[in-house]
Amino acid sequence: MRFSNTFLDEIRDRVLISTVIGRRVTWDRRKTNVSRGDYWACCPFHGEKSPSFHCEDRKGRYHCFGCGVSGDHFRFLTDLEGLSFPEAVQQIADLAGVSMPQPDPQMEKREKERTSLQDVMEMATAYFQDQLQSANGAKARAYLRDRGLTGRTIETFRLGYAPESRNALKEYLAGKGVPKEQIEACGLVRHGPDIPVSYDYFRDRIMFPILSSREKVIAFGGRAMAADAMAKYMNSPDTELFHKGQVLYNFSRARRAAQAAGDRRQAGTLIAVEGYMDVIALYQAGVENAVAPLGTALTDNQLDLLWKVTPQPVLCFDGDGAGIRAANRAADLALPAIKPGKSVSFALLPDGKDPDDLVKNEGRAPFDRVLSEARPLVEMIWQRETAGAAFDTPERRAELDARLKQIVSVIGDESVRYHYQQDIRSRLGMFFNQSGGAGGERRQNFQRNNNAGAARKGGRGGAQQGGSVVAGAMIESGTAGSARLNQMLKLSSQARPPLRETVLALTIANHPQLLLAEYDEISSVDFENKDLQRFWSSLLSIVGRLGAKVSVEAVRDGLVADGFADLVTAMTQQVRNARLWTATEEADPQDALQAYRQTRALHSRNKELRWQKIELEREIADLTDEDAERGELLLRALLEIQNEIVRLEAQEAIIDGFGVLSGRVKGAAVSH
């Protein structure tokens, strides 16, 4: 049975090649980069001990640098498992959830017709190219020259010119034996019951051929030469070959450039700009990985095309009002579909400038600077919701809070949605403090008064700020005691990490050999505290560098060199105050590991409860008056979860405060 290229492309696009191959090999964790779709393994075609078999999702290809085998989804199954080609297609179709096509003479005929239509489009492209170089194309050539395009660039993009005639192209194709039905099916003429005689669709326009992912001409874009034309730019109508919302201009060429950059271990990404000329001007300046939607807002299908090539495409918009609105529409489009390692970023051009303007005089450097300042998706949403507005009343702050929660709730991936909620909460807290809200002002006044009170009461042992930490420092005398007091006040004025997170991080810092023994379990811990996130990243990097030579002293030296000395001191004091000796350096490693696992379980349970609480609150907010019975059930469930959260936090508060209440610090006791 013969399969159409359309069907084979569809099932290949739906199934990652790593999914097909991953059932037969074990990926090497050290060399594999899952977020980039870049996988390495020992080759299944020949015996080897070190991985030289490479598989790349973006290309849908595999290659072994040892034995030289390469291919796609189907080739892998036919070569490794001895399947026939139809059997391999059946397996991939099953994985894709697509039914196999039945033998259909009409479909085979349609596939032949598509091939014929592509031949007609190729003929039209050559005709337009010839017209650009003829006397008719003088005005168009002058325009392209004024825009700074070289002859080489014009040839690369196969730019052409449609003469100012109602039937020049139609007569040319008819003279080549192309039937009028095919000319009409290609969208090259306007025709219909109300049009007695069909006429050329494009007239007096510079022509931009639009290519498929297989680099076949499937449509055209046309830029009017006349100033009074009804539409400055227009595209071919939708045809059997072309569906505007599913195609990106310059996609195949940009994909090759991005993949080549990825092979050189550079940032292989795609940049979506607004128009044909932006893409071409950037290409001429050396930015070859730019694409453009076809005169409309970015669509779901076009965004999926970008994500097939890169997990983090850059969407580049003009910095004027229209560009900002387009960027915000794109943000709303992307938000429901983002996943771990898959998002978008936004590069905003200076107001009144487009990419062509930036690169015309100074080359690519100004555009590269714009790209370097690209904003992540969460930042784009935050700026949109907070810019230029006043949040000087509780009602307005509550409105912003509710609006951001609603926006983030559309994210489909549970993990990403959770982290967006965490990020937004953090931003709101900082923003309301900085914006002069009454609550923020009261907290700042309280902090200043409390610090002053702590300094005044320091000699009494029961300090208001810093507890036993400050009290212990007051026992010392002279210059050293004063310096230690200042250091302790500085540390205690900062927000301490949650005790559970401190225990998890400090246990491994004091017993790094546990990380080597239980790497998969321990390295995956997720910290909410920003300081501990940075601390943990540094710790993993240090232990990774040391390898078998790891020691507490070497890890501690590395952390100090990375600027975490004060944090380690504060964390150590925190666990000693709580008398959690298993997190200290003196604990036996087995005791430390057992206590670590218990704390990890408690930490995970707390996060799980908080996530369940958020989900229940969202469900309750969405209830209508008709859902009263379900509302009661949800409220009871919410109350149970809240009670358990309170119970867990109360336990931690009692433990965390034990050292303060007792007034004990290592090496000294303070009487009350």
Where exactly are the structural domains of the chain?
Answer: 5-96, 105-242, 251-383, 388-434, 438-492, 499-669
pLDDT tens digits, residue range 157-191? 999 999 999 999 999 999 999 999 999 999 999 99
What pLDDT does 346 receive?
A: 95
Who wins on pLDDT, 448 or 588? 588
Q: What is the pLDDT of residues 337-377, one digit of tens each?
A: 999 889 999 999 987 788 888 888 778 899 999 999 999 99
404 contacts 385 by C-beta, under 8 angstroms: yes
* pLDDT band, residue 14 (cuts 50/70/90): confident
Predicted confidence band at 262 (pLDDT cuts at 50, 70, 90)? low
Q: What is the mean pLDDT of residues 562-579?
A: 88
3-state class of 551 per DSSP? coil
- Rounded to the nearest integer, the mean pLDDT of the chain is 81
Dihedral angle computed from the Cα positions of residues 404, 407, 408 and 410, in that order, rounded to the nearest 10 degrees: 160
Q: Residue 51: pLDDT above 70?
A: yes
Answer whether residue 483 shows pLDDT above 50: no
Model confidence at 647: pLDDT above 80 = no
Environment class of residue 595 by beta-carbon count within 10 Å: exposed (0-12), middle (13-18) or buried (19+)?
Answer: middle
Fold agreement between 5-96 and 251-383: no
Phi, psi for 135 (deg, rounded to 5): -60, -35
What is the full DSSP assignment across 306-320? HHHH-SS-EEEE-SS
For residues 574 and 569, give the distance between their C-alpha atoms in angstroms, rounded to a whole number: 9
pLDDT at site 299: 92
Q: Looking at 98-102, 104-108, 414-418, 612-616, which range is the least confident one?
A: 104-108
Backbone phi, then psi, for 277, in 5-degree steps?
A: -65, -30
Among 288-302, 389-403, 429-443, 481-495, whose mean pLDDT is lowest?
A: 481-495
pLDDT of amino acid 285: 93
On the question of pLDDT at 218 being above 80, the answer is yes
**What string of H, E and C letters represents the secondary structure of 139-176?**
HHHHHHHHCCCCHHHHHHCCCEEECCCCCHHHHHHHHC
Quote the CA–CA distance of 651 and 138 in Å, as a whole number. 83
pLDDT at 103: 64
Least confident range from 17-21, 187-191, 623-627: namely 623-627
Unique residue bearing structure tokens 């949040």 = 391
The angle at the Cα of 668, spanning 665 to 669, to the nearest 5 degrees, equals: 85
User: What integer pLDDT is reported at residue 429 of this predicted model?
Assistant: 81
Q: Which CATH superfamily is domain 5-96 in?
A: Zinc finger, CHC2-typedomain (3.90.580.10)
- CATH superfamily ID and name for 105-242: DNA primase, catalytic core, N-terminal domain (3.90.980.10)
What was the pLDDT predicted at 607? 74
* Residue 468 pLDDT greater than 70, yes or no: no
The pLDDT confidence band at residue 40, using thresholds 50, 70 and 90, is very high
Taking 60 as the threshold, does the pLDDT of residue 567 lie above it?
Answer: yes
Q: Which pLDDT band holds residue 324 (cuts at 50, 70, 90)? A: confident
**Residue type for 153, please?**
T
Question: Hey, CA dihedral for 342, 348, 354, 358, is it positive or negative?
Answer: negative
CA 657 – CA 581 distance, rounded (Å): 15
| CATH fold group of domain 251-383 | Dna Topoisomerase Vi A Subunit; Chain: A, domain 2 (3.40.1360)
Sequence-distant (≥ 6) Cβ neighbours of residue 195 within 8 angstroms: none
